[in-house]
């Protein structure tokens, strides 16, 4: 049953002025073969179905009332049409579902791919939980609609066919029977207008509940430490109350409209009985026609009821599509310039040329940051909290772009080179050591998936992680987070360091990368690093003097600019501020 999934062939339309379904259309169109087959066959199947009431009408009037034809030949014909309707129906639905699920898979892949390329600025703004919920239910509702809407429209075509049969039996009765349908249509329109906002409000409130749960689960330690379970339960209860109101409102609005949608066809049947009966009495109509009209109206009821459902699905789908577009319309802030070239044979000089930077709307973090780092040099960046140290690390790899000024590697503006080549040459160990729920081996080999076990082990040794990994129940095969094998912050940091070391970048940035590691372990790591760093440009952002001591030069950062540069000793001697920053740690007030 497994067939290979090749991934999406097209993207959605970039034109934001198009209606939502037209933006999705290219995805649908890329499956047009199966889709058209599905539509064609289901049309055929429905035609066979519509034939049946007319055949029954004829059979009753000719065979049973007037005894003019033989019963058995009509029976045989109906049986054959039934078989054809069934077979074509089965085949058509196969294709319907195939289209539907391929479209869904395409949308899922498109969103994932798009998210993958978005910049850090985006992730600073949005909550991942909300993205996941979109990727789940919103895709579902768009896919449902975009696939089933055309099918329901096919059913409506059948409605036209059925109406044609009714006209051929009795134009007058057909018109009377159809009077309810326009009303049905207007009720549907009105319903669309009132249902849409409430379904939106409901979804927004459900998302609030999800956020509370998510925070509660992730912050469980804090909740328990502060014994705030009761406050949390009440916080949830308030949110749940708002959801409950939205659901009640939703039901009230639906209750006001949907019974009419469902019962208007019954009114049509009543009209058929009354007027049709009258016409039978007057001899203008056979009794079989009553049966056929009944059947046709019931047949019409399905598409019209589905039209109501379609209206609701459409509301959901549109809301969902809008939220999906919000993601897909988000352009990566960090993009390669046209003509970007690969960074190669990096020697490792880094220039910060009058760099200015701020995170979105926040205050400027770096004002006129200016520094030059020689190939092979190791530099420590020291400064107070909020002085912009970590920001420097994030700019070199273009996780963010500078607002003004230039950063150059070997004289190349980082914005002129391709992103993969840049990030391949600049390795960053981030202050938050995120590990994936894959084996430790795979985590270390994350940037070099083809690395051999020996290479992985060597990196782990350099990061002083080999020993504790060996002690884990399944060594390098231990899956992070599984069966409660949780790692301490220091252990995670060491794996994160090994991960970067394995890539072996000519420029290495350690952003507070050993803050949770034991002091003696840290010493071991730096001993190993000292060997590795010999040929490598290194930027160390650190709080500990032990770490700072590793660097051959120190940049003192204050208020977003370099205020002093030199060896540790020079700065101690020359710059009171450096002494002050360090002194604050070396001289906690006397007891």
Partner 1 sequence: MAWGGGWSGGGAMFGSSQVAGLPFGGIPSELMDEATKLLAHEPDHPPSDLTFTQRPSERERQRLTLARLIGAYPKWVVSGSVLVIVTSLILQAGPLLTEYAINHGMVAGHRSLGVVAACGIGYLVLALASALLQRVQVDVTGMLASRVMHDLRIRVFTHFQRLSLDFFTDEKAGVLMSRMTSDIENLQQLIQDGISQFAAQGLTMIVITAVLFWLNATLAAWTVLLVVPLLFVISIWFHRASEKGYLLSRDRIANVLADLSESLYGIRVVTANNRQRRNIRNHRHVVGAYRDANLYTGRVNSIYGPATIMIGILGQGLLLGIGGDMVLKGHLSLGALVAFFLYLNRFFGPIQLLVQQYNALQQGRSSIIRLRELLEVPPTVDEVEGATELATIEGRISFEDVSFGYDDEHLVLRHINLEIASGESVAFVGPTGAGKSTMAKLANRFYDPTSGRVLLDGVDIRTVTLRSLRSQLGVVPQEAFLFAGSIRSNLSFGRPHITGAEIEEAIDVVGLRDLVDRLPQGIDTVVHERGQTLSAGERQLLALARAFLARPRVLILDEATSSLDLQSETTIERALDRLLEGRSAILIAHRLTTAQRADRIVVIDRGGVVEMGTPGELLAAGGAYAAMFDAWLASGGRDSTRPDDEQTD
Site for partner 1 in 524-583 (CB under 8 A): 526, 543-546, 549, 568, 581-582
Please state the length of the chain. 591
Among 149-157, 168-176, 240-248, 405-413, the segment contacting partner 1 (CB under 8 A): 240-248
Phi, psi of 564 (to 5 degrees): -160, 155
Would strands 426-429 and 507-511 be described as parallel, antiparallel, or unpaired?
A: parallel
Q: Please report, to the nearest 10 degrees, the dihedral formed by the alpha carbons of residues 16, 22, 26, 27 taken in order.
A: 100
Per CB under 8 A, does 120 bind partner 1?
Answer: yes
**Residue selected from 93, 347, 461, 553 as contacting partner 1 according to rule CB under 8 A:** 93
The interface with partner 1 within residues 27-66 (CB under 8 A) comprises: 45, 49, 52, 56, 59-60, 63-65
Q: Which two tokens stand for residue 576?
A: 């009171």
Q: How many residues bind partner 1 (CB under 8 A)?
A: 222
Q: Is 398 exposed, middle or buried (0-12, 13-18, 19+ CB in 10 A)?
A: buried
Per CB under 8 A, does 437 bind partner 1?
Answer: yes
d(CA 550, CA 382): 13
The interface with partner 1 within residues 401-430 (CB under 8 A) comprises: 419-420, 423-424, 427-428, 430
Least Å distance, CB 175 to partner 1, is 17
Looking at residue 458, the DSSP 8-state letter turns out to be H
**Residue selected from 66, 160, 171, 226 as contacting partner 1 according to rule CB under 8 A:** 226
Give the side-chain half-sphere CA count within 13 A for 537.
19
The interface with partner 1 within residues 310-329 (CB under 8 A) comprises: 319, 322-323, 325-326, 329
d(CA 550, CA 362): 33
Among 71-79, 165-173, 368-376, 528-536, the segment contacting partner 1 (CB under 8 A): 71-79
Among 377-385, 406-414, 455-463, 529-537, the segment contacting partner 1 (CB under 8 A): 377-385
Nearest to 533 by CA among 552, 519, 517: 552
Least Å distance, CB 202 to partner 1, is 10
**Residue selected from 349, 516, 552, 570 as contacting partner 1 according to rule CB under 8 A:** 516
**Residue selected from 37, 149, 183, 223 as contacting partner 1 according to rule CB under 8 A:** 223
Per CB under 8 A, does 294 bind partner 1?
Answer: yes
Per CB under 8 A, does 68 bind partner 1?
Answer: no
**Residue selected from 179, 452, 488, 535 as contacting partner 1 according to rule CB under 8 A:** 488
d(CA 503, CA 459): 9
Angle subtended at Cα 373 by Cα 371 and Cα 374, rounded to the nearest 5 degrees: 145
Least Å distance, CB 374 to partner 1, is 23
Residue with tokens 């034991």: 518
Would strands 561-566 and 412-413 be described as parallel, antiparallel, or unpaired?
A: unpaired
Least Å distance, CB 424 to partner 1, is 6
DSSP collapsed to 3 states, 203-218: HHHHHHHHHHHHHHHH
**Residue selected from 234, 530, 535, 574 as contacting partner 1 according to rule CB under 8 A:** 234
* Distant-in-sequence, close-in-space partners of 478: CB < 8 Å, separation ≥ 6: 439, 440, 469, 472, 485
**Residue selected from 29, 33, 36, 75 as contacting partner 1 according to rule CB under 8 A:** 75
d(CA 95, CA 91): 7
d(CA 160, CA 155): 9
Is the C-alpha dihedral spanning 466, 471, 474, 478 positive or negative?
A: negative
Closer of 216 and 353 to partner 1 (Cβ)? 216
Among 154-162, 165-173, 306-314, 480-488, the segment contacting partner 1 (CB under 8 A): 480-488
**Residue selected from 104, 138, 410, 442 as contacting partner 1 according to rule CB under 8 A:** 104
Q: Which two tokens stand for residue 479?
A: 């899956």
**Residue selected from 15, 17, 68, 339 as contacting partner 1 according to rule CB under 8 A:** 17
Q: Which two tokens stand for residue 209?
A: 């509940």
Q: Do 60 and 286 contact (CB within 8 A), yes or no?
A: yes
Per CB under 8 A, does 128 bind partner 1?
Answer: yes
Least Å distance, CB 405 to partner 1, is 20
Least Å distance, CB 411 to partner 1, is 23
| Residue 539, strand partner residues | 379, 509
Among 112-120, 163-171, 349-357, 367-375, the segment contacting partner 1 (CB under 8 A): 112-120
Closer of 353 and 566 to partner 1 (Cβ)? 566
């Amino acid at each position: 049953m497994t067939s290979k999934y090749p991934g999406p062939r097209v993207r959605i339309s970039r034109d934001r002025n198009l209606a939502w379904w037209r933006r999705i259309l290219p995805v649908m169109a890329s499956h047009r073969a199966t889709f058209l087959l599905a539509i064609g066959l289901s049309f055929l199947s429905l035609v066979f179905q519509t034939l049946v009431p007319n055949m029954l009408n004829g059979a009753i009037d000719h065979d049973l009332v007037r005894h003019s034809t033989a019963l058995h030949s009509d029976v045989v014909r109906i049986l054959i049409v039934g078989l054809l309707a069934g077979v074509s129906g089965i085949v058509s639905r196969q294709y319907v579902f195939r289209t539907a699920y391929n479209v869904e898979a395409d949308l899922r892949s498109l969103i994932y791919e798009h998210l993958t390329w978005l910049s850090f600025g985006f992730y600073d703004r949005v909550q991942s939980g909300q993205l996941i919920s979109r990727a789940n239910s919103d895709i579902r509702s768009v896919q449902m609609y975009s696939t089933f809407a055309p099918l329901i429209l096919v059913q409506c075509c059948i409605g036209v066919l059925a109406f044609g049969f009714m006209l051929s039996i009795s134009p007058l009765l057909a018109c009377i029977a159809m009077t309810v349908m326009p009303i049905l249509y207007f009720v549907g329109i009105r319903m669309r207008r009132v249902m849409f906002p409430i379904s939106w409000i409901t979804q927004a409130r459900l998302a609030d509940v999800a956020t509370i749960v998510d925070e509660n689960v992730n912050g469980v330690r804090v909740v328990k430490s502060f014994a705030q379970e009761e406050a949390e339960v009440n916080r949830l209860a308030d949110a749940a109350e708002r959801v409950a109101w939205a659901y009640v409102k939703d039901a009230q609005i639906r209750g006001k409209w949907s019974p009419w949608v469902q019962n208007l066809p019954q009114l049509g049947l009543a009209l058929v009985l009354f007027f049709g009966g009258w016409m039978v009495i007057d001899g203008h109509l056979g009794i079989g026609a009553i049966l056929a009209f009944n059947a046709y109206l019931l047949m019409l009821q399905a598409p019209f009821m589905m039209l109501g459902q379609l209206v609701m699905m459409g509301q959901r789908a549109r809301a969902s599509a809008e939220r999906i577009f919000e993601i897909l319309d988000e352009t990566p802030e960090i993009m390669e310039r046209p003509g970007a070239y690969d960074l190669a044979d990096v020697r490792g000089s880094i220039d910060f040329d009058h760099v200015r930077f701020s995170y979105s709307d926040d205050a400027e973090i770096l004002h006129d940051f200016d520094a030059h780092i020689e190939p092979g040099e190791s530099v420590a960046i020291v400064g107070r909290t909020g002085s912009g140290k970590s920001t420097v690390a994030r700019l070199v790899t273009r996780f963010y772009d500078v607002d003004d000024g230039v950063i150059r590697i070997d004289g190349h503006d980082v914005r002129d080179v391709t992103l993969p080549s840049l990030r391949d040459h600049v390795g960053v160990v981030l202050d938050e050591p995120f590990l994936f729920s894959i084996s430790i081996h795979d985590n270390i080999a994350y940037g070099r998936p083809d690395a051999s076990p020996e290479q992985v082990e060597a990196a782990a040794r350099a990061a002083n992680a080999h020993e504790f990994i060996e002690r884990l129940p399944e060594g390098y095969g231990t899956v992070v987070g599984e069966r409660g094998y949780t790692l301490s912050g220091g252990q995670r940091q060491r794996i994160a360091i090994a991960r970067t070391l394995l890539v072996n970048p000519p420029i290495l940035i350690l952003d507070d990368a050993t803050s949770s590691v034991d002091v003696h372990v840290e010493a071991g790591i730096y001993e190993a690093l000292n060997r590795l760093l010999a040929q490598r440009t290194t930027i160390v952002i650190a709080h500990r003097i032990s770490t700072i001591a590793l660097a051959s030069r120190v940049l003192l950062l204050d208020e977003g600019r370099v205020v002093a540069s030199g060896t540790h000793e020079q700065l101690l001697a020359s710059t009171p501020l450096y002494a002050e920053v360090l002194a604050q740690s070396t001289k906690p007030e006397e007891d």
